[in-house]
A and B are shown apart, each in its own frame.
Chain A
């Protein structure tokens, strides 16, 4: 009975892990750069998969020519929750964005993820959603 339970647990892990990881991994490696003119501040957020299977989030702000970094590792389940903030906003009418002031395609935002390098609006991700994603990361990394 004890062995059967063990096998069941191991099987569950094998089945569940790839599902969870796949959801998070499809957008990795992930890199977001955001320049805030009012603050004269550039923020860079990077998500990279570690050998351990965890995902490291690094948050960088530029200071004196050196990077000031805050880093922390999270399990795929957290990253999955995080990406929900970006993926839950697929807008069925992307053509209306061209006149939407929230949909900024300019030097303030740089976004790369997965194997492609694209800009925010062409990926159907609005800047207000990115801001919420960024806010969650900032909260997660605070001491």
Chain B
């Protein structure tokens, strides 16, 4: 077998274990994720087959596998398999814990990011810098305080200054430069595509264009809620914030940027920028015209959902809200209100009635009772109980993000910057990233506002003809269950 897929018995409980070792110690670096990256890098660098096998064997014990080829062996071409079923391809390899041939992999949970060399280095530098900062202010402490008490008092007094130290260490000019470059490329391409779009209604086009033009990236972070590390570990995501209309990057994502593939990064920004104009965001921005987000994109919404009826919700593949779900969400909302009395009171019932009326207009937004057991800190977590919930805004962003990313990838291919092997690596990185999100490698759609990964990858992302062609997929969309989508491009 030419492709060495190093499949390891992933012991996730190892990652979940409480890690309180000193970030500056060598012991902290004795962990599966650091070893996986380290041995993958060594294996790809050696020219002797024996040495290669030795590192592969070590990698084998970390919980991850890698798409590497033994020196002297012919490199296999996995593109056709990736094109036919990207989710299936990566999930067949240790549930997607698969590093590509450049040892890139960014789908890391907080406990795993905590263990990466990059994050440990940030933690170690931060610890030293904090000690220096506190030492220089020690004379401000009242007499009689212990050293520990003085430290705590200064941490309270100078929280903002100390947090800024951590941000400065993690958000380096190099990392910010790479991110801004990728973000601006995506944004400019997006603007160009909207201007020439045959999909977007002419009436709404100026408004949609201006929303993309006004979306910025919050770097260096000023209003990013996850730019520092809370006691429970770093966040790893990037997200579009509907409050300030900007894209934000968490400290964990920044720390692991060196392991991120450029195609995956570009696609991520395409997705996040799309949230600025997704049907739900538009419905919320124009409450007097909640249908605006559906009308603006012709029949795209129905096509993405894949069901019958005007809205595409009947027997749809991508889920919509249900009446029962909206009712439950409004009752839940009412239960949080201290000013409303018991459920049988008139004011309570009026609140629920009005809520149901207004929320039913927002079919593009996910509305249902929340899952109190949702594991919120875990990327792979997903809503498991309750009624089906609208998944439109996520699939819309996946699709339009793919349309824009496709153009940029094609440009890079034409300019000779991306070889076929680079595209295999890009697709592998993107697929492993998605396969682990909100239901790692599940085989049925879920009750989460994000559809199951097999639908996002195989139906929506690979449903973009523009994206498929840029990668080099020549046999049409995947034919796996729920896939084979053919919608109009941007």
Which residues does A use to contact B, with CB under 8 Å? 36, 38-43, 59, 61-65, 68, 70, 74-75, 77-78, 81-82, 84-85, 107, 117, 119, 132, 135-136, 138-143
Contacts and interface: CB of A to CB of B under 8 A. Distances in A.
A81 B373 contact: no
B231 A141 contact: yes
A74 B152 CA distance: 9
A61 B230 contact: yes
A141 B376 CA distance: 20
Interface stretch (B153-161, B170-178, B388-396, B455-463): B153-161
A81 to B, nearest CB: 5
Contacts of B237: 39
A142 B163 CA distance: 12
A26 to B, nearest CB: 18
A43 B226 CA distance: 13
A43 B377 CA distance: 11
B300 to A, nearest CB: 26
Contact of A75 (B149, B376, B378, B381): B149
Interface of B is mostly: loop
B225 A135 contact: no
Given A62-B377, A139-B156, 19 more contacts: A38-B243, A39-B239, A40-B374, A41-B235, A59-B230, A59-B232, A61-B232, A62-B374, A63-B376, A63-B377, A64-B373, A64-B381, A68-B377, A81-B152, A85-B156, A139-B162, A139-B228, A142-B230, A142-B231
B248 interface: yes
Contact of A39 (B149, B235, B374, B375): B235
B338 A119 contact: yes
Given A63-B375, A64-B375, A143-B20, A38 B149 contact: no
A75 to B, nearest CB: 6
Contact of B163 (A64, A107, A135, A143): A135
A65 B373 contact: yes
B242 to A, nearest CB: 8
Given A39-B225, A40-B376, A143-B20, A136 B149 contact: no
Contacts of A140: 152, 155-156
Contacts of A119: 338
B225 A38 contact: yes
Contact-size category for B: 35 or more
Interface string B120-154: 00000000000000000000000001000100110
A77 B153 CA distance: 8
Contacts of B372: 65
B22 to A, nearest CB: 9
A42 B376 contact: yes
Interface in B206-246: 225-226, 228-232, 235, 237, 239, 241, 243
A59 B381 contact: no
Given A36-B225, A64-B378, A59 B231 contact: yes
Contacts of A39: 225-226, 235, 237, 239, 376
Nearest 8 pairs between A and B by C-beta? A64-B375, A70-B231, A65-B373, A141-B231, A61-B232, A136-B159, A63-B377, A107-B336
A138 B227 CA distance: 13
B378 A63 contact: yes
Interface string B365-384: 00000001111111001000
Interface string B336-347: 101000000000
Given A39-B225, A139-B163, A68 B232 contact: yes
A58 to B, nearest CB: 10
Contacts of B155: 136, 139-140
B163 A81 contact: no
